[in-house]
A and B are shown apart, each in its own frame.
Chain A
Amino acid sequence: MKRQAHQEAMPPAAKASRDAASPAAAGQVEFRVVLCGVKLDPSTEKALGQELRMAVLQQLSQLEHDEELHATAFGEQPEARPLVSKASRLLGTIVTSTAES
């Protein structure tokens, strides 16, 4: 009940932003990997992020669809939020079909 009251009290813009960040609301699927207690240097972190993106794109390429896929960096989609901890570093990619974009 508290959570609901809090959401209702939020300004409309903030509520819209939170809704957009909800995968269920947006009709999207989100694959997430959380590393706890593992310090990665920046280059390894970047390489891991790239490989994760490539792995997903490679699997998606097996789907039969007419739309083109566009991968955008997290920085271009700032509505994404950490799920596990507010202190988490967040790195990611959003893959969007042309029909959706």
Chain B
Amino acid sequence: MAEWPIRMLVYGAGDAINGAGALDTQIHAQLTGLLQVVTNPYVAAVAQLDAANGPAWRLVLDPGGRHQPTQVEEFNTGDPDTLLRFVEWGMQLIPAQRTILVLSGHGTAWEDEMARQVLGATTRLPSPVQPAQKGVRHHARRILGHNLNTMGSMTRALLIDGNSRDFLSNAELAAVCDRIAAHLPAGKIDVLVFDACLMSSWELLQELSDSVMTIVASVDELSAAGVDLARPAQALTQAQGQMDAPRIAATIASTFTPQTVFDSCAAIDLSRQEWTLALNHFHNFATQLYAWINSAPGNKEAMRNALRVAASSLVKFKSGGLADASALAQAMGAMPGVPGQCVQSINAAVAAAGACVLGKKVGRNYQAAMGLSLFAPDSDTVYNTNRPDYLRLQFPNVTGWGSVLDAVYGKANVYTRFIQPAIPPTRGVEGVSAPPSASQPMMGGAVPPSAPQPGEAAPMTEFFVTVRGLELDPDMREDIEEAIRGVVLRVLGNTGLGGDLHISSLKKFARTQGIELPQDGVTGFVVQAGEEQKLH
């Protein structure tokens, strides 16, 4: 066949961590079900599974049995290059119009440093979850189970490979999705399915919004059985593969069967205009809230109480300070004295984000939830532990939520410039401060950037992209600028920088520095490291 309408690429991290918590049995069961349906003329599928006690396998799913599984070397599923190589292999084998990428493994969010620490200290943890036996294991898609210390219970990381002691950090995930998307005709992965816990996180989805069109994920923990792949494959086949990305994602979510009261599966469209609109409303909310918090001594405590209420909305994973977005809005609305405009803004943000939810299937505990989490730390400990990872993300910087949390928990006001009223409420806005530090390596082992040492001339680098021979209307110029800002924020934000960053428009910068720019046709922005850096 020249080209299938749809291809599924299933990447399974079934490895155990110190002999416990392996998911290969469950992932194998999912693949066995999928094998009953695909490959057919409309949907083709390949998979890679890193088994717990044995080799890794690559499989071409073929009900006719014409393709035998291929044993391959032991993979490190936490290595982005491993994922990329698998996807490239699958895409070369199956030319297709649309791509569904399924990442199966242990739960995740954005707390990379915690995951790294736990992997380094796993042997010291008291009681990792027992290997799944049969039926529903309530925590099996999360790395660790009940009665753990704070570090263990707060750990979330994607595709943890216990054997290789590695995991896919959110920076690596975003980078590898970018690279995969670059291979695709639409420039984005059509559907990314997180067959893992806790991935329906607003912050994390924002990191992926440049390279992924739709997401299917869970807001809380997910039963070991995971997301059923066979039923949606059957529905796609019945439709002869004639579905666009949002319909595919909605189909996967709607065919999900909750195994417990806390199971959830939501499909979210990141390509809708409302996704960006929601960020704008959230920025307005955070700006107004920040001013209110600082206007009276008792407001910080009121806000802490509201965060505690909001964080109680996640019923299973209680210790991570996550809240369903709608619960956060409700908690803000119930807070005494908060300005009405502030409440309107958070409600507008949640409504806009809710418009991006294409469909969901949830257990009893999440009937009223939106299915998208936000960081709502309910204690100093939770905030202090997660703050370094959190402030590396786009969301807290672009919306101002990071500054709000800093104000609530008494952190130094080094991230507040973006919350000034003059800042336009869009992604990568003028004045956005990028995260101050990061220890995670970039893909390919690149050395992170650094600020100059005292006495050293501040380096200056100019990147340009010139477009000739095309008429670009103002909207397109704005879209390009926004895309560029997103790239710069992500690349610099995901690397270790000695000082903080300040972003301003090129024109404003030139005006203040007395630099004459060409009258028309040049646009852009300037990123400055550290307040003390002198320009040369």
Scan B510-536; emit 1 where CB is below 8 A from any A CB, else 0.
100101011111111111111001011
Q: A29-B477, A65-B470, A80-B464 are in contact. Are A36 and B458 (CB under 8 A)?
A: yes
Residues from 70 to 101 in A contacting B, C-beta threshold 8 Å: 74, 77, 80, 82-85, 87-101
A38 touches B446 (CB 8 A): no
Q: Main secondary structure on chain B at its contact with chain A? A: mixed
Scan B484-520; emit 1 where CB is below 8 A from any A CB, else 0.
1011100110010101010000100110010101111
Residues from 25 to 45 in A contacting B, C-beta threshold 8 Å: 26-41, 43-45
Q: Does B420 contact A (CB under 8 A)?
A: no
Residues on the A chain within 8 Å of B463, using CB: 32-35, 48-49, 52, 91-92
Q: Main secondary structure on chain A at its contact with chain B? A: mixed
Q: A31-B524, A91-B462 are in contact. Are A48 and B451 (CB under 8 A)?
A: no
B462 touches A89 (CB 8 A): yes
Residues from 174 to 207 in B contacting A, C-beta threshold 8 Å: 178, 182, 187
Q: Does A16 contact B (CB under 8 A)?
A: no
Q: A29-B521, A34-B461, A49-B463 are in contact. Are A96 and B469 (CB under 8 A)?
A: yes
A45 touches B461 (CB 8 A): yes
Partner of B515, one of A44, A69, A84, A100: A84
Distance of B238 from chain A, by nearest CB (Å): 32
Residues on the B chain within 8 Å of A39, using CB: 449-452, 459
Distance of A79 from chain B, by nearest CB (Å): 10
B466 touches A44 (CB 8 A): no
B464 touches A92 (CB 8 A): yes
B527 touches A51 (CB 8 A): no
A48 touches B452 (CB 8 A): no
Considering the complex, give the chain A residue whose CB is closest to the CB of B456: A39
Considering the complex, give the chain B residue whose CB is closest to the CB of A49: B463
Residues on the A chain within 8 Å of B535, using CB: 36-37, 85
Q: A32-B506, A88-B460 are in contact. Are A55 and B484 (CB under 8 A)?
A: yes
A32 touches B509 (CB 8 A): no
Partner of A36, one of B443, B464, B480, B533: B533
Residues on the B chain within 8 Å of A87, using CB: 460, 536
A59 touches B448 (CB 8 A): no
Scan B418-447; emit 1 where CB is below 8 A from any A CB, else 0.
000000000000000000000000111011
Interface size on A, residues (CB 8 A): 62
Residues on the B chain within 8 Å of A55, using CB: 210, 480, 483-484, 486-487
Distance A77 CA – B468 CA, assembled complex (angstroms): 12
Distance of A81 from chain B, by nearest CB (Å): 9
A44 touches B509 (CB 8 A): no
Distance A96 CA – B469 CA, assembled complex (angstroms): 6
Q: A55-B484, A92-B463 are in contact. Are A37 and B523 (CB under 8 A)?
A: no
Considering the complex, give the chain A residue whose CB is closest to the CB of B526: A34
A95 touches B525 (CB 8 A): no
Distance A96 CA – B187 CA, assembled complex (angstroms): 20
Q: Can you add 16 more A-B contacts, CB < 8 Å, to A90-B461, A101-B468?
A: A24-B519, A29-B470, A31-B466, A36-B458, A38-B449, A38-B529, A41-B447, A44-B446, A48-B488, A54-B178, A56-B467, A89-B460, A92-B465, A94-B465, A95-B467, A96-B469
A-B contact pairs, 16 of them (CB 8 A): A28-B521, A30-B522, A30-B523, A31-B524, A32-B464, A33-B527, A35-B463, A38-B527, A52-B484, A55-B484, A82-B462, A83-B506, A84-B462, A84-B510, A87-B536, A88-B460
Interface, chain A (partner B; CB < 8 A): 22-24, 26-41, 43-45, 47-49, 51-56, 58-63, 65, 67, 69, 74, 77, 80, 82-85, 87-101
